[in-house]
Amino acid sequence: MRDVKKLSRGVILGLALLGSFSPSPMASALGVKGSAVTTTAQKSKLNAQLLQAAEQGNLEQLQTLLKAGASASAADGSGRTALTWAAKGDHVAVARALIAAGADPDPQDDQRNNALLVTGETGSVAMLREVLKAKPDLTRTNRYGGTALIPAADRGHLPYVSEILKTTKIDVNHVNNLGWTALLEAVILGDGGRAHTGIVHELLAHGADRKIADREGVTPLQHARQRGYSEMVKLLEK
């Protein structure tokens, strides 16, 4: 009987403690019950909010969500990560916070984009520098089979091309699904102007093979001659 009374008092005390528990201000603000994130549903909600904050570039909210337990490597239904969303919006501070929290830079979404590959499209040198801190896989390729260097070359992102060639060991002679290298794309898809000519110069200076031809056997020099890109011709003839 004495043991039962002790047990009853213990149960009553436990119930009293549970009744006195209240969510922390941070958890309440995020709509989470309790001070610790413990359920899958709660984690999913935090991750969804984190993805939205990354897309919108809301650094303050993102940091709050990370502290509340959201994953720095959270991804949406398409497989797009918070870091990729940040890269697409060129939200550099957000990307920095995610990487500091351990975000994985390599996962690719259903369009085969990831943070590094996106920087090749946007040409953002600042974002490139942040993503490189996470030590991304430089061999990952986009939906066309190209590394980050190739879209940067065809879009005329000269500062980006200079930076990625200077700071990484990315394959300058990688051939994409179209059968084109970065050098071929700079000539074929470029306009022959200052930016694309500068890219040709940078690529050659970092070991681009001018002899690699397209699938029809046409070399970068021949393409440049056909298009009348005289400055490129001079570089490719050296």
**Per-residue pLDDT tens over the stretch 32-43:** 444 444 589 999
Does residue 93 register a pLDDT over 80? Answer: yes
- Give the pLDDT confidence score for residue 30 in this predicted structure: 52
pLDDT at position 39 is 87
What's at 63, amino acid-wise?
Q
**Least confident interval from 14-18, 45-49, 51-55, 69-73:** 14-18
Whether 21 shows a pLDDT value over 70: the answer reads no
> What number is the average pLDDT over the span 203-212?
98
Select the more confidently predicted residue: 145 or 14.
Answer: 145
pLDDT at position 135 = 98
Of the candidates 146, 155, 169, 133, the one whose C-alpha atom is nearest the C-alpha of residue 199 is 155
Which residues 6+ apart lie within 8 Å of 40 measured at CB?
none
Q: What does the pLDDT read at residue 218?
A: 98
Q: What is the CATH number of domain 138-238?
A: 1.25.40.20
* Cβ-count burial 86-123 (b if 16+ within 10 Å, e if not): bbbbbbbebbbbbbebebbbbbbbeeebbbbbbbbbbb
Residues constituting the chain = 238
Closest CA to 170 of 195, 148, 189: 148
The pTM for the full model equals 0.83
Give the domain ranges of the chain. Answer: 138-238
Confidence of residue 5 (pLDDT cuts 50, 70, 90): very low
What are the two backbone dihedrals, phi and then psi, of residue 166, each rounded to the nearest 5 degrees?
-75, -35
CA-wise closest residue to 91 among 56, 61, 131: 56
Query: Is the pLDDT reported for residue 184 higher than 50?
Result: yes
- The token duo for 146 is 């190209």
Measured from the Cβ of residue 202, the count of other Cβ atoms closer than 10 Å reads 23
Give the three-state DSSP class for 75: strand
- What band does 48 get if pLDDT is binned at 50, 70 and 90? very high
Residue 31 pLDDT > 70, yes or no? no
